[in-house]
Structure 1
Amino acid sequence: MRILVLGGDGYLGWPTALHLSDCGHDVAVADNMARRAYDHEMGVQSLVPIEPLQVRVDAWREVSGKTITSYYGDLVDAEFTYAMVRDFRPDTIVHFAEQRAAPYSMIDRKHAVYTQQNNVVGNLNVMFAIQEIDPEIHLVKLGTMGEYGTPNIDIEEGWLEVEHKGRKDRMLFPKKPGSFYHLSKVHDSHNIEFGCRIWGLRATDLNQGVVYGQETPQTKRDPRLATRFDYDAIFGTVLNRFVIQAVLGHPLTVYGSGTQTRGIIDIRDTVECIRLASENPAERGEFRVFNQMTESFSVEEIAKVVANSYDGSVTVEHLDNPRVEQSEHYYNVVHTGLVELGLEPHLLSNTLIESLFGVAESFKHRVDDAAMRPTVKWREASSPMRTGD
């Protein structure tokens, strides 16, 4: 199968491309290197050094004998997007190429607008390219569990059977996103469902939980193949941040009460979910949704798991929550679709966290302590969200 991975230089896009290539698929990656530019803008860096994309591609060819084609360009540029799809002629397009951080989207008006334009317009260009060039292409789109928010009912896999005043219908599950980033993902989902319903596109929307981990079997084969490891308060995910704080002897910074509950997933399961979705495509006209998570924990529970796994003293510091979110809420998610396709989840364990401790220990000299403190607030105490450029 020919698979084009958009955002193929990123934290998840790169190991996904390697996994798909290792499984025998003909893979291409595309990226505009915006994620690397965010590091310069924010004044941070990946904990683990990452090589330029071409070095990564060359290293993969050396260790595997397999070639990954690369494209450099921006999906917001429709001409580039069309030309790339015509050139590679993919059977499947895996779409990771969006600004992915909720805090980044909440910095100010400029970052909110950029996130919406980059994500929504880029996704629309991909949809139109598929519809006009080859409607048989299967779009596998990375969404987020954050689209749903924390409703007081079970979260179904994308769709909800509703009875209202004696009549029944099937509709997309109601969304209550918590940031301008999550809102952009909701817009993507609605646009893709429209394309499936009106044009007959085939698409799988993967609403993914919080990802943890940094290594996959493929990235471990050569240091040049490493993917990034974000720990800062803008792009870092909570478990990864806690691991580094434990290694440095810093308190684990829990926002608010820590009772906020979220779905999580191991990076090794993320890449396997993409393979399963790609090799088992949706039908023409089908908008298929999978909740791509394996377990759920509160932030406080994650902190306890990290503390109990670390061979040393660990403390917890509760900070004022910079986000606007419910601290006490119901959270029960249906996530059976990918398991039915064959996913065998890696559940959170001491063994996994211990391996992360090793990564953090090796590169702790690269940590910027100040970068782990939250600086972006969803709502200032005495003023609306900042609007400066």
Structure 2
Amino acid sequence: MRVLVLGGDGYLGWPTALHLSDRGHDVGVLDNLVRRNYDEELGVDSLAPIETIETRINAWEEVSGKHIDCYIGDLLDADFVYNTVREFRPDAIVHFAEQRAAPYSMIDREHAVYTQHNNVIGNLNLLFAIAEIDPDIHLVKLGTMGEYGTPNIDIEEGWLEVEHKGRKDRVLYPKKPGSFYHLSKVHDSHNIEFTCRIWGLRATDLNQGVVYGQRTEQTARDERLATRFDYDDVFGTVLNRFVIQAVLGQPLTVYGTGGQTRGIIDIRDTVECIRLAVENPAERGEFRVFNQMTESKSVRQIAETVAEAFPGPVQIDHLENPRVEQAEHYYNVTHTGLEELGLKPHLLSDTLIESMFGIVEANKHRVDVEKMYPKVQWKRTKA
């Protein structure tokens, strides 16, 4: 199949492109390279050094003998989107190309507006391009488990069967997002479902949990193929922060009580989920939703897992939570669709031992400790 990966220079887009290429697909990547600009804006950098997109593509061709096409441009440029889709002629489009950090969207008004404009309008341009050029293209869109929030009922895979006043219907699962970023993903999901229902497009919405890990089978073949390892308070994940703190001998900083529970997934499972979705497309007119996660853990449990796996003493501390979220809550997620397609999940405890501590140990001299502490506050106060 011909697969175009949008956001193909990013943390997940790049290893996904390699995984699909390695599995025999003709792959193109599209990116505006703005993720690298966020680093300059925030004064941070990936813990693991990353090469330019040109170096990465050339390295992959050297290592694998496989070519990846590259398109540099922005989804906000509708002409560019249309021209790229016409030129590459994809059977499937994997869409990672959005501003992905909740804290970034909560910095101030400008960052909130930027996030929603960038994500929602870019996705709309893509939907129109697919509809007007080739409605048979299968859109595989990266959503987020954060769209659901933390409801006091089981979280189903995208849809909910309801009975109200004696009548039944199947409706999109209610959304209760926790940031302007997560809200942009909700808007995306609604727009995609609408175009499937009205225009007969085909789409798979992957509501993904928090991804951890930095190494896949393909990126491990050459250091020039490495993907990002973010640890700062804006783009980093709680797990990456904990692993670095353990290696540096610092306390693990848990926000609040640590009872906040989320779905999590290994990066190797993420790229495999994308492959499974691409190779098993939705039907025309179908808006298919998979909850892309393999385990659920609270922040406290993640800290305890890191402490147990690390070969040395680890202290756990608690900080005031900068976010507005439930400290303790019910969380039970249905996530059977991808496993039914053949996913064989990795577990967090195995990944920590296999690679993450080693990656941090090798790059600990690059850590800017101050960048790990939270500075973005969810609450707005009068100036």
Q: Could you say which residue in structure 2 is the equivalent of 1:283?
A: 283
Q: Could you say which residue in structure 1 is the equivalent of 2:271?
A: 271
Verify: 1:201 aligned to 2:201, yes or no.
yes
Distance 1:62 1:194 in 2: 43
TM-score (norm 2): 0.99
Identity rate of aligned residues, in percent? 78
Counterparts of 1:70-81 in structure 2, within 5 Å, are 70-81=70-81
Show CA shifts across 1:286-322 (max 9, x none): 0000000000000000000101111111111111000
Amino acid at match of 1:178: G
Q: Could you say which residue in structure 2 is the equivalent of 1:85?
A: 85
CA positional deviation for 1:350 = 4.1
- Contact 1:44–1:232 (8 Å) recurs in 2: yes
- Contact 2:263–2:293 (8 Å) recurs in 1: yes
CA root-mean-square deviation: 0.8
1:307–1:354 distance in 2 versus 1, CA, 3 Å: farther
TM-score (norm 1): 0.97
- Contact 2:231–2:372 (8 Å) recurs in 1: yes
Distance 1:54 1:235 in 2: 24
Q: Could you say which residue in structure 1 is the equivalent of 2:244?
A: 244
Distance 1:353 1:302 in 2: 14
Q: Could you say which residue in structure 1 is the equivalent of 2:29?
A: 29
Show CA shifts across 1:210-238 (max 9, x none): 00000000000000000000000100011
- Contact 1:123–1:188 (8 Å) recurs in 2: yes
CA positional deviation for 1:352 = 3.4
Q: Could you say which residue in structure 1 is the equivalent of 2:139?
A: 139
Partner SS, residue 349 of structure 1: helix
Q: Could you say which residue in structure 1 is the equivalent of 2:313?
A: 313
Show CA shifts across 1:183-234 (max 9, x none): 0000000000000000000000000000000000000000000000000010
**Alignment size in residue pairs:** 383
CA positional deviation for 1:353 = 3.7
In structure 1, runs of 5+ residues without a counterpart are: none
Verify: 1:67 aligned to 2:67, yes or no.
yes
Distance 1:289 1:327 in 2: 28
Counterparts of 1:247-258 in structure 2, within 5 Å, are 247-258=247-258
Distance 1:252 1:351 in 2: 18
1:121–1:43 distance in 2 versus 1, CA, 3 Å: same
Q: Could you say which residue in structure 2 is the equivalent of 1:104?
A: 104
- Contact 1:243–1:353 (8 Å) recurs in 2: no
Partner SS, residue 258 of structure 2: coil
CA positional deviation for 1:111 = 0.1
In structure 2, runs of 5+ residues without a counterpart are: none
Counterparts of 1:329-368 in structure 2, within 5 Å, are 329-350=329-350, 352-368=352-368
Runs of 4+ residues deviating >4 angstroms: none
Verify: 1:224 aligned to 2:224, yes or no.
yes
Amino acid at match of 1:255: Y
- Contact 1:309–1:354 (8 Å) recurs in 2: no
Q: Could you say which residue in structure 2 is the equivalent of 1:186?
A: 186
Amino acid at match of 2:16: T
Distance 1:44 1:349 in 2: 28
Q: Which moved more, 1:243-252 or 1:48-57?
A: 243-252
CA positional deviation for 1:61 = 0.1
Distance 1:5 1:214 in 2: 18
Show CA shifts across 1:84-137 (max 9, x none): 000000000000000000000000000000000000000000000000000000
Partner SS, residue 318 of structure 1: strand
- Contact 1:116–1:181 (8 Å) recurs in 2: yes
Distance 1:106 1:348 in 2: 29
Distance 2:379 2:250 in 1: 27
Distance 1:185 1:40 in 2: 25
CA positional deviation for 1:240 = 1.3
- Contact 1:310–1:354 (8 Å) recurs in 2: no
Counterparts of 1:286-301 in structure 2, within 5 Å, are 286-301=286-301
CA positional deviation for 1:241 = 1.2
